[in-house]
Chains A and B, each alone.
Chain A
Amino acid sequence: MLEQQLFNALSLGCVYALFALGFTLVFGVLGVVNLSHGSVFMVGAYAALEAITQLQLPLWAAIGVACVASGLVGLLIDVLVLRTLRQRNVPHLIPMIATIGLGITINSLTQGVFGAENQRFPAGLLPQDPLQIFGLHVTELELGIILLSFVLMTLLLLALKKTQLGRALRAIAESPKAARLLGINVEGLFMLTSFAAAALGGLAGVLIGLYSNALFPLMGQPVMHKGIAVIILGGMGDIRGAMLAGLFLGFAEVLSVAYIGSTMRDAVAFGLLFAVLLIRPKGLFGSVKERKV
């Protein structure tokens, strides 16, 4: 049972991490806690569902559609709302509040178009029967989610560390004003980041939708609440932190169910999270400095 629980924890942790990657990226670069990320995540899931059921696209193509659709929504949010707010130089809580409203709007629109009832990806899209590996019950999707979250984390880290683009993004994270003075196209990179982060959110939406078999307009909300905890624990804006904190939350939840009891799950998981933050108030990888404006 323990081996199975450890595997359960790993796959749940990767689910959380997958969601948190895009979420933390937006914060790292734009300095905005984008609370519409849960809705963007849901848009991805619905876009893929439509691509598969209406356009009869294969899954890989549907994932592409989902990334682009979510990415565009993220881009629109940045161009129409966040940029306007940036230009007016509003206090930093305002964009966060605005994204709450955007999230509600997107959820309601989706509900209006697709209805509130649960939907799912067509059965048989992925092999549903589990594989038996060393006595563990493992699905191919779980393996895919685990692999993909590590690959994406590595790619993002490498991109931020090794490329010119990544250096520019880190410069912006440090200070958008200084970055602009250095000749970096700050607005362009904001847009690019918004697109990429939302596309990642959309990808997470498809995978988690496949995993839970339950697509509904509010599906992003509970995941986002966990996501907020994850990116705070990881250190706001830190990619490695998001990954590690996702895993931390996954293990904390699963092991508390296994050994303490499921009624205590959230109390234990979030109690641990609180304890970690008491010791490391900036999170596991908390290197984010107060932004100088």
Chain B
Amino acid sequence: MSIAPNRSVLATSIASALATTALLGAFAAQAGEIKIGVAEALSGGAAQYGNSIRNGFQLAAEEINAAGGVNGDKLSLVVEDEQGKKEEAINAFKKLLFQDKVVMLFGPTLSNSAQAADPIAQASKTVVFGTSNTADGITSIGNFVFRNSVTEADVLPVTIRTAVKNAKIKKVAVLYGNDDVFTKSGYDNFKKALDEQKLPVTTTETFAKGDVDFKAQLTKIKASNPDAVVLSALLAEGAPIMVQARQLGLNVPFIGGNGMNSVKVFDLAKGASDNLWVGSPWSLQNHSKENESFVVAYTRKYKGAPDQFAAQAYDALHIAATAFKKVKFSGDLAKDRAAVRDALPDVKWTGATGAFSFRQTTDKAGAPAGYDAQQTPIVSVTKGVNYDIVK
């Protein structure tokens, strides 16, 4: 084949790409559109969370737009893949802030990335709204940083207390991933809660990301004879841990953090997923009106059950839209961004995750900073393929 035809094809495609961009540009400039940036991990190790989150946003945006938008303006999501990496999150934030000129940002998926990228949004005086960042200190970055993800510091003590009360737990073993910010911070919060509730710990064991075999730790845990295992892990390791524990005859309850709160555990740890206690702001089994309608709509659109990450993203966009209703968009980007910031803290919303409001936090010096979620967690225990809610 000669080169020439290819080259003309290339030229045509460049021309059409340029034309498309121009069209898009024209479209974007139209009035009646609120541009929102979404930077989530759509590929890489955190992609299973990031994709759920994006689905949640898209579902909420469709619903809001189908109902006429916000005061007649349509929401338009500009989605970027931040790959679950700090550097990429920074790049995605810069693109959304400076090139796409969004009025506010959602993301990034991981707390790690939020620590790195949120200061950029803060510096540009633009709201950054995390739906999945649960580590400590994120909202201390500044007063433009919001999140509706209930922190593990709030959830884990409730989970432990409920499990201890219902499953007659006197002493626990602890197992966590020590090379990951999320699972390590989960461990720190678990430890704090265990200390506060004066629950004896028989042994504390660790594992590393990507381990395939946990039997050494589990054998040791079994020998220490605990009434339950407190587990701070992501699903990739958490599910095999449960399977291997049951294979070793370690049949005590597991008390998990946020990472274990996914319906995927029923598939990944099939036959060994019973008796896992998790606390979270959201549960598939929560039969409130708002949650039922979310679950039905999500399942219809994506042919699969939603998880907590989708639910929180879905609620987050509704929360933002509620704030937008109070904003008079002027077209002056800096003014609009500031107006969104001022409207958000007062939003109260009851959605898939239940009643929600913001709670202002402080920065390291004690001055008022960003906003955390104020929400009561739901504790559930797995049985069969369900998370049964425990009061």
Contact = CB atoms under 8 A, between A and B. Distances in A.
A128 B207 CA distance: 23
A29 B219 CA distance: 40
Contacts of B222: 1
Interface of A: 1, 4-5, 8-9, 11-12, 15, 108, 111, 115-118, 120, 123, 128-130, 137, 139, 208, 211-214, 216, 218-219, 221-223, 253-254, 257-258, 261-263, 265-266
Q: Give the interface centre of A1, A8, A223 by most chain B CB atoms within 10 Å.
A: A8
Contact of B48 (A9, A116, A223): A116
B311 to A, nearest CB: 17
Main secondary structure of the interface of A (DSSP, over half): helix
B239 interface: yes
A227 to B, nearest CB: 12
B43 A111 contact: yes
Contacts of B239: 118, 120, 213-214
Interface string B193-233: 00000000000011111111101110110110000000000
Q: How large is the interface on B (under 10, 10 to 19, 20 to 34, 35 or more residues)?
A: 35 or more
B216 A117 contact: no
A263 B178 contact: yes
B212 A211 contact: yes
7 contacts: A15-B213, A118-B268, A130-B249, A212-B212, A212-B213, A213-B268, A222-B210
A111 B46 CA distance: 12
A8 B209 contact: no
Nearest to A137: B248
Contacts of A223: 210, 212
B236 A128 contact: no
Contacts of B47: 111, 115-117
B271 interface: yes
B216 A137 contact: no
A212 B241 CA distance: 9
B269 A12 contact: no
A5 B264 contact: no
A128 B243 contact: yes
B7 to A, nearest CB: 25
Contacts of A257: 205, 216-217, 220
